Amino acid sequence: MADGPHVTIWNEYRHEKSDENVAEIYPQGIHGTLDAMLKEAGFEVRTATLDEPEHGLPEEVLDTTDVLLWWGHVAHDEVSEETVDKVHERVLGGMGLIVLHSGHFSRIFKRLMGTTCDLKWRLDDTERLWVVAPGHPIAEGLGEYIELGEEMYGEPFDVPQPDELVFVSHFGGGEVFRSGLCYRRGRGRVFYFRPGHEENPSYHNPDVQLVIRNAVRWAAPTPGAAPVYGHYEPID
Amino acid sequence: MADGPHVTIWNEYRHEKSDENVAEIYPQGIHGTLDAMLKEAGFEVRTATLDEPEHGLPEEVLDTTDVLLWWGHVAHDEVSEETVDKVHERVLGGMGLIVLHSGHFSRIFKRLMGTTCDLKWRLDDTERLWVVAPGHPIAEGLGEYIELGEEMYGEPFDVPQPDELVFVSHFGGGEVFRSGLCYRRGRGRVFYFRPGHEENPSYHNPDVQLVIRNAVRWAAPTPGAAPVYGHYEPID
Amino acid sequence: MADGPHVTIWNEYRHEKSDENVAEIYPQGIHGTLDAMLKEAGFEVRTATLDEPEHGLPEEVLDTTDVLLWWGHVAHDEVSEETVDKVHERVLGGMGLIVLHSGHFSRIFKRLMGTTCDLKWRLDDTERLWVVAPGHPIAEGLGEYIELGEEMYGEPFDVPQPDELVFVSHFGGGEVFRSGLCYRRGRGRVFYFRPGHEENPSYHNPDVQLVIRNAVRWAAPTPGAAPVYGHYEPID
Amino acid sequence: MADGPHVTIWNEYRHEKSDENVAEIYPQGIHGTLDAMLKEAGFEVRTATLDEPEHGLPEEVLDTTDVLLWWGHVAHDEVSEETVDKVHERVLGGMGLIVLHSGHFSRIFKRLMGTTCDLKWRLDDTERLWVVAPGHPIAEGLGEYIELGEEMYGEPFDVPQPDELVFVSHFGGGEVFRSGLCYRRGRGRVFYFRPGHEENPSYHNPDVQLVIRNAVRWAAPTPGAAPVYGHYEPID
């Protein structure tokens, strides 16, 4: 394996095939845009989509994935229980997971959070993501905030309190949202990053791309020693 | 409803019926001992067990439960998906949940945590639960520690980092364990409390009883305003 | 002592004496408005101000205070080291502390946080405080948000990550701020609540008053057993 | 500057000069042992001690320090206010700080924590540090636990709840202690690591050394953009 983390980008890949406007923004799919950007940054990257066999995530792919990105929206329920089980197990074992935008309602994110992950929403707003943790590695290299034309997501966001909060968003319509959240689950790291509505070109934005590259490095496994569970003889 | 929180104690209630030693310690079941103790403290209390219809937790019981206690061990898999769904929804809506001892592997606790909840274990040890958060309401009225003859549970405990850590246990065999953990999930509060192996009389211990009474008060709902989710018109 | 927590309201009380506009909003001082509101809610309340002997906080007052409110702005440096020491010691021993608005730069808050507590600011904006923890007791009884004409405070707010985050504010000028923060320090609880610029009538707002009453109840001491420190004989 | 973080090791360096037993364990001082170990690992390292001018920490040293280690015990009060101020400012600006053993009572650690940092203690015990966060980078490469002959430190440890808890210690005399604690303060990272009583050879232990090397990497600055504070013009 190369030096940096091996990345797999999972994309539902439906809007891009059915909606001309989306296809214009992401002609190779959302995963295609992310793939090109991460490769250019020197990462080893693969993509996987819902309609491939095993949703593009057979054992051999997961076995060699350090960080998995996840974008889904209209077809969360088509992701098989088996795939959710496998990804869940991998994350708890150390694989990083970056959940993007509407992936907040994905089966894998809800499984990891244990809550509804519900929120408010509205199309066609303006978002300003403020850095609230300026020393966090995921904010490295940013200015004070990122500005986007985006869908609005509003609080309350029904997730557990994050281990670290990196971004808080301001929306033109009057709402706020915790938009960059770090979690440790098992030996794996999970980062939820809000932007990325399919009708907005957010994944072409250089600062959004920078955050995702930073997050990939942050989420890379540091597995340590395998934990020991089960029956255990006394030491003393 | 009375002033204090309405409590429902859920118990698997199998060991007490099949194992003489356990029956001797808990002649009315673990739930019976907890029921008597909580009633004596003035709480309104009901019990429910696995083998009752709907596991003793029909809608009308859950609708009038403020705090649910959960003890299970050998039959976690016999708890129906429907019951887990209902309890999960109630906790996220504000109902308190106190998970006891081997309930760490219950379906509802694993659902809320999103992790394996795995750990080490060994029968017949000595446990000393140290208070590490002396100002926490769940520790109110205790001394420095509680001493018990107990089963050992050892780290790592594969759960999310708790919102608050109240107790850490020392075991004679050489292990440690985070043994009192507070979580907020949705609008509900969850407390995991380690002691309570069925072959040890821990639920007769006055300090263990005090912790459970304190935890019932801590976990009682403070539902606030109902959160608003879904499509939302701009304010500004 | 009465049933509820005994409250002492500390106010710098300078603007109200030197600025007509402020005096019109708070004819009895900010402390006077808070005093009346808390008394009406049934709390036992006293006030203390900077220019009284010992800043109005002699031992006998602190000895009988369960929760201390703190408003200061232009004269943080006039608060004596001795008073900061005493209040600090009391908070670590269990006394609740509610720090209001420009109190973010008070010596006691900086002492407890260990950071600069710095932020952005601008007069004459509109603030909308969103509830992000709808099940938190400090949010009890509120709607989705509170709207105020207020001074703007903007992120980053240089404080430790809070133990619990209750409110996030949206400002008309485009900024956000974590505006309701819970901390446990020693055996005491600390709540920082953002609104309250002296030129705005925020402490007359019923929802702001409700939050402060809720916070008083939340911050009331639950001292548990006194912790034991120092040389210690082995138990085993 | 080289690739890795530049490390400065600060040591009180008194016991080694006044106590033969300590001098035998650390003939070049505690700082000398740490210096050799970190240099061997490829870090650029300097040392500084209490009795040097400006305690060995003039501006030019702090300006080129990425991570500062701190060991002190009997002479905390001899560290000047000016030095504490400068180190404090540097940590909030991004410099990593690793506080070792009896440094829990150092002025800089108490300043950063805002609490008493008090605890129990007793000489001549056995410590077993259990990894409770097996996926944490500071635990990378360890087994399940580290065993040492050491001074006992016992709970409660009067510090704020850590952002991440990595180790919990078991002591032969019956106590427990949170012995590896991660904090973010300002843009800097702080790690408290318990072992290192001067009469025990803990800093010669390979696992203790591994933890310190891991911690140096973890604590290295990721300063991001400089935060903007003060008066701020509206954006919208």
pLDDT per residue, tens digit, chain B (236 aa), is 346 899 999 999 999 999 999 999 999 999 999 999 999 999 999 999 999 999 999 999 999 999 999 999 999 999 999 999 999 999 999 999 999 999 999 999 999 999 999 999 999 999 999 999 999 999 999 999 999 999 999 999 999 999 999 999 999 999 999 999 999 999 999 999 999 999 999 999 999 999 999 999 999 998 777 899 999 999 99
Using CB atoms, which residue from D135, D141, D222 is nearest to A188?
D135
pLDDT (0 to 100) of residue C147: 98
Residues 6+ apart with CB under 8 A from A117: A104, A105, A109, A110, A157, A158, A159
User: How far is CA D155 from each of CA B129, C118, C215, C232, D120, rounded to the nearest angstrom?
Assistant: 11, 33, 29, 11, 7
> Bridge partners of A235?
none
- What are A95's two structure tokens? 């694989």
C176 contact residues in A (CB cutoff 8 A): 128, 130, 132, 168-170, 176
Quote the minimal CA–CA distance from A99 to chain C in Å: 20
Interface probe for D, chosen from C81, C90, C118 (most Cβ of D below 10 Å), is C118
DSSP D160: P
Distance CA B179, CA A149 (A): 47
Are D176 and B169 a contacting pair at CB < 8 A? yes
- What are B216's two structure tokens? 């019932």
Helix (H) or strand (E) holding C67: strand C67-71
Q: DSSP 3-state assignment of C101?
A: helix
Are C229 and D118 a contacting pair at CB < 8 A? yes
Q: Which residues of D173-203 are buried (b: 16+ CB within 10 A; e: fewer)?
A: bbbbbbbbbbbbbbbbbbbbbbbbbbbbbbb
Distance CA D225, CA D221 (A): 12
Distance CA A24, CA A26 (A): 6
Are B161 and D157 a contacting pair at CB < 8 A? no
Distance CA B14, CA B34 (A): 16
Distance CA A114, CA C104 (A): 35
A44 class by beta-carbon count within 10 Å (0-12 exposed, 13-18 middle, 19+ buried):
middle
Distance CA A211, CA C33 (A): 46
pLDDT at C158 over 60: yes
What subunits touch chain B, counting only 3 or more CB pairs under 8 A? A, C, D
In angstroms and rounded to an integer, the radius of gyration of the C-alpha atoms of chain C is: 18
Specify whether the CB–CB gap between D86 and D62 falls below 8 A. Answer: yes
Nearest-CA neighbor of B39 among B205, B215, B209, B199? B209
- What are A220's two structure tokens? 């890379």
Are B92 and A158 a contacting pair at CB < 8 A? yes
DSSP β-ladder status, C188-193 and C96-100: parallel
pLDDT (0 to 100) of residue A61: 98
DSSP D100: E
User: Among all residues of chain C, which has the CA nearest to that of B218?
Assistant: C137
pLDDT (0 to 100) of residue C223: 75
Q: Which residues of D136-145 are buried (b: 16+ CB within 10 A; e: fewer)?
A: bbbbbebebb
Using CB atoms, which residue from B156, B164, B169 is nearest to D132?
B156
Angle between helices A206-219 and A29-40 (to 10 degrees): 70
- Please count the residues of chain D: 236
User: Among all residues of chain B, which has the CA nearest to that of D127?
Assistant: B174
Count of CB atoms situated within 10 Å of the CB of A81: 8
Tens of pLDDT, residues C189-216: 999 999 999 999 999 999 999 999 999 9
Quote the minimal CA–CA distance from D163 to chain A in Å: 7
Interface probe for D, chosen from C81, C87, C89, C120 (most Cβ of D below 10 Å), is C120
Residue with tokens 């730069």: C105
DSSP β-ladder status, D164-171 and D176-185: antiparallel
Residues with pLDDT less than 70, chain D: 1-3
Distance CA D157, CA B101 (A): 25
Using CB atoms, which residue from D130, D157, D161 is nearest to B176?
D130
Nearest-CA neighbor of A171 among A193, A196, A147? A147
Distance CA B24, CA D54 (A): 70
User: How far is CA A57 from each of CA A10, A80, A223, B145, rounded to the nearest angstrom?
Assistant: 8, 11, 21, 49
- Average pLDDT of the segment spanning C5-26: 98
Segments in chain D forming alpha helices (H): 15-18, 20-25, 29-40, 59-63, 81-92, 107-113, 206-219
Distance CA A138, CA A149 (A): 21
User: What is D190-204 written as a DSSP string?
Assistant: EEEE----TTS-GGG
Distance CA D236, CA D232 (A): 12
Q: Which amino acid is at C56?
A: G
pLDDT at C1 over 70: no
pLDDT (0 to 100) of residue C3: 67
Residue with tokens 């649910």: B68
Find the Cα–Cα–Cα–Cα dihedral C33, C35, C38, C43, rounded to 10°.
-170
Q: DSSP 3-state assignment of A93?
A: helix
Q: DSSP 3-state assignment of A183?
A: strand
Using CB atoms, which residue from C134, C170, C174 is nearest to A175?
C170
Distance CA D157, CA B92 (A): 32
Residue with tokens 């009708």: A199
Any idea what the Cα angle at residue A149 is, between residues A145 and A151, rounded to 5°? 105
Are A178 and C156 a contacting pair at CB < 8 A? no
pLDDT, mean over chain D: 96
Any idea what the Cα angle at residue C27 is, between residues C21 and C28, rounded to 5°? 140
Specify whether the CB–CB gap between A98 and A219 falls below 8 A. Answer: yes
Distance CA B135, CA D117 (A): 15
In angstroms and rounded to an integer, the radius of gyration of the C-alpha atoms of chain D is: 18
DSSP D137: G
Kindly report whether the peptide bond that precedes residue B27 is cis, defined as omega within 30 degrees of 0: no
Positive or negative, the Cα torsion across B110, B115, B121, B126? negative
User: Among all residues of chain D, which has the CA nearest to that of B132?
Assistant: D156
Distance CA D69, CA D212 (A): 9
> Bridge partners of A100?
A193
Residues 6+ apart with CB under 8 A from A85: none
DSSP β-ladder status, C96-100 and C44-49: unpaired
Kindly report whether the peptide bond that precedes residue D156 is cis, defined as omega within 30 degrees of 0: yes
C126 class by beta-carbon count within 10 Å (0-12 exposed, 13-18 middle, 19+ buried):
middle
Count of CB atoms situated within 10 Å of the CB of B36: 13
Confidence of residue C110 (pLDDT cuts 50, 70, 90): very high
Residues with pLDDT less than 50, chain A: 1-2
Residues 6+ apart with CB under 8 A from A206: none
Segments in C19-143 forming alpha helices (H): 20-25, 29-40, 59-63, 81-92, 107-113
Count of CB atoms situated within 10 Å of the CB of B104: 25
Distance CA C150, CA C144 (A): 18
pLDDT (0 to 100) of residue A224: 77
Q: DSSP 3-state assignment of D229?
A: coil
Task: Supply the ipTM of this predicted assembly.
Answer: 0.96
Specify whether the CB–CB gap between B121 and B153 falls below 8 A. Answer: yes
Kindly report whether the peptide bond that precedes residue A201 is cis, defined as omega within 30 degrees of 0: no
- What are C107's two structure tokens? 């010596």
Tens of pLDDT, residues D93-152: 999 999 999 999 999 999 999 999 999 999 999 999 999 999 999 999 999 999 999 999
User: How far is CA B1 from each of CA B5, B44, C99, C206, rounded to the nearest angstrom?
Assistant: 9, 9, 36, 28
DSSP β-ladder status, C164-171 and D44-49: unpaired
Distance CA B136, CA C14 (A): 37
Q: How many helices (H) and strands (E) does chain D have?
A: 7, 10
C170 contact residues in A (CB cutoff 8 A): 170-171, 174-176
Q: pTM (2 decimals)?
A: 0.97
Specify whether the CB–CB gap between C184 and B166 falls below 8 A. Answer: no
Nearest-CA neighbor of A131 among D235, C122, C154, C113? C154
